Amino acid sequence: MLGQANTAAPSTPAKDAGSAPPDGGMAGYTQIILFGLIIVIFIFFFRRSQKRQADDQQKMIDSLKPGQKVMLTSGMFGRIAKVSKEEREVVLTADENRKVELTFNVLAVAKLVDEETKSVEPEKK
């Protein structure tokens, strides 16, 4: 009997591999619902952040006045000579000695430059 394998039936019945989970098959739906909920929360916070940035940019554009120094999205610096709210244009003086003036869309203005600190970083609130 040394070379014979134990052919006795197991004492506990084996579970069928294709049988339903004990919760009645709701485990898959629960995962889908949780995944969908995570996506909805992510979209909510993403849109809220975008709206806040758009509101901040609009406030900055509304506060533009002649004489302010600004930085454009291209990295160019200039002093505002004229702001046209109707045409949504801003005229910048790039070289005050030669009276070089350039016209841009107001959306090209990225940041105001602080005259005292020469910084383009926004103030920490």
Which uninterrupted H or E stretch holds 103?
A: strand 100-105
From first to last of its 125 residues, the chain has per-residue pLDDT tens of 555 656 655 555 555 555 555 555 677 788 899 999 999 999 999 999 999 999 998 898 888 999 899 999 998 888 999 998 888 899 998 877 888 889 999 999 988 888 766 676 655 55
Instruction: Report how far apart, in Å, the C-alpha atoms of 112 and of each of 23, 41, 68, 74, 79 are.
Output: 60, 33, 7, 14, 10
- CATH 2.30.30.30 assigned to 63-112: yes
Where are the chain's structural domains?
63-112
This prediction's pTM = 0.57
- 103, 72 Cβ separation under 8 angstroms: no
At residue 41, what is the residue type?
I
3-state secondary structure of 109: strand
Helices (H), the chain: 27-62
